[in-house]
Structure 1
């Protein structure tokens, strides 16, 4: 009977561990959205049902927390220079999704985008394919896998080629993509350029990549720009750097980037399996 326990007990614990890991990957993801800019911004999300209807205001230094279920696929971006009335009607200089505070459609270019597909293994990136209006960083916390920090922490408004620049009140407020400005197959990766072999980096996408190596610079910039992570929380920070520590709450505990988080918990599971296995072996001696 004791020999039977030696085999069964570790197996049961391994099954419990696997079950816990599956539950982690299937749980809702926590999104902490932070405004580190020196100005008020109006973040937008589509689809926005889990994010206050898709639009809200964040003053300098403010943050909000939302959750999204596994299966959610969408994008987050910032709007600038907005003016909304008490009914949520108004306009924005960049990133506008119409005349409403709460977005039901994609934003007007140029806009820096954070894109997510939440599955057992999440896919996420920061994209400049639709141009640039704000620095934007996505930091996964508590996840398992590659879990790299994605983002554009350079400010392309100061380096934007003149032919791509969007200006208001005498200053550059955004940088359009070459596709948006010139509308050619080569820049838009369509027609004979509609695949990863023929659609290559251009002068303009290289400028974007140089300023933001952790972001998509053109449509087929996949190898260095799309990341994966499982069971993670996300911190989406505007006007931050990829090296800046950020924190989120997980199971009512403050967890910050750089911490080992759940990896330590999993390590303790394996330690427990080993100890119980040894303990169950001693009755045979």
Structure 2
């Protein structure tokens, strides 16, 4: 493709996929991107529409899935994993037992992306079960509030020592106060099992200050849960909330904070380069 302009490359790819299947509002496109410096192993439950719930995603890689309206589940990163050829192994954080393909939720601490897909979708990033990697949800093409949700701060760098999980002397995750102390107050149960009596604690405030659009405790609803209709989702590990990301929907490239391809220069150029592997995924699928 030597000498082909950016616009020519985009046109060529759009023509190549012009006969592909049309995505409808009964389907949500999920693009999962790993911006971390190391490989992560996303875990997804239920995972029927997501490569059976587990796979490796190297640094800089992305993968695309379609999920039907009616799907309700969670996505998280597993780190420090070592799986054999049969898909059996261990992870330092987020393990769902000993299997590569997750059939159960990940072991805390883990940052969670949670979704309920319906006429109006509900989505959030939760640190109620602790934190292991920065995690952001970016909706694209949707209608409604459709805010970017998540935690792009690395809580491992300032996790309180009593909550820290270490491996080889390095903090690899930050536990929740509920997981560590197991009291009704920290776990929002018993007499604290309602939004009136369950209030922010010192530890949840540490999480909230760093990540204001993520759940820091069980009843942290007003600033942490978001709604959107007819949207696609880009789930990113170790990315900034303001970072531009792209999806490919109905044969068109769409990027966050951008409605079309009017300008493929500067930062948009890099967004396009990131999106090219996603386009070829659609060509080959």
1:150-185 deviation per Cα after TM superposition (whole angstroms, max 9, x unaligned): 000000000100000000011000000000000000
The alignment of Structure 1 onto Structure 2 pairs a total of residues equal to 239
CA distance in 1, matches of 2:101, 2:245: 26
Shift of 1:115: 0.1
Shift of 1:214: 1.1
1:157 matches 2:156: yes
Shift of 1:25: 7.9
Q: Is the 8 A contact 1:25 1:121 kept in 2?
A: no
CA distance in 1, matches of 2:100, 2:143: 35
Match in the other structure for 1:62: 61
Shift of 1:260: 3.6
Q: TM-score, normalised by structure 1?
A: 0.82
Report 1:1-285 matches (<5 A).
26-260=25-259
Q: Report the structure number with the largest CA radius of gyration.
A: 1
Gaps of 5+ in 2: 1-22, 261-285
SS of the equivalent of 1:235 reads: strand
CA distance in 1, matches of 2:258, 2:61: 23
Q: Is the 8 A contact 1:128 1:217 kept in 2?
A: yes
Q: Decide which structure has greater helix share.
A: 1
Q: Is the 8 A contact 1:110 1:175 kept in 2?
A: yes
SS of the equivalent of 1:243 reads: coil
1:26-61 deviation per Cα after TM superposition (whole angstroms, max 9, x unaligned): 420000000000000000100000000000000000
Shift of 1:124: 0.1
CA distance in 1, matches of 2:103, 2:56: 16
SS of the equivalent of 2:203 reads: helix
How large is the RMSD of aligned CA atoms in angstroms?
A: 1.2
Gaps of 5+ in 1: 1-23, 262-285
In the superposition, relative to structure 1, how do residues 245 and 63 fare at CA in structure 2: closer, same or farther (>3 Å)? same
Structure 1 stretches of at least 4 aligned residues deviating more than 2 Å after TM superposition: none
Q: Is the 8 A contact 1:37 1:238 kept in 2?
A: yes
Q: Is the 8 A contact 1:151 1:214 kept in 2?
A: yes
After TM superposition, the structure 1 stretch with the greater mean CA deviation from structure 2, 49-58 or 252-261, is 252-261
1:84-120 deviation per Cα after TM superposition (whole angstroms, max 9, x unaligned): 0111110000000011100000000000000000000
SS of the equivalent of 1:126 reads: strand
CA distance in 2, matches of 1:209, 1:260: 31
CA distance in 2, matches of 1:133, 1:25: 34
CA distance in 2, matches of 1:250, 1:25: 9
Q: Is the 8 A contact 1:25 1:120 kept in 2?
A: no
SS of the equivalent of 2:65 reads: strand
In the superposition, relative to structure 1, how do residues 26 and 251 fare at CA in structure 2: closer, same or farther (>3 Å)? closer
1:233-254 deviation per Cα after TM superposition (whole angstroms, max 9, x unaligned): 0000000010000001001211
Q: TM-score, normalised by structure 2?
A: 0.82
Shift of 1:141: 0.1
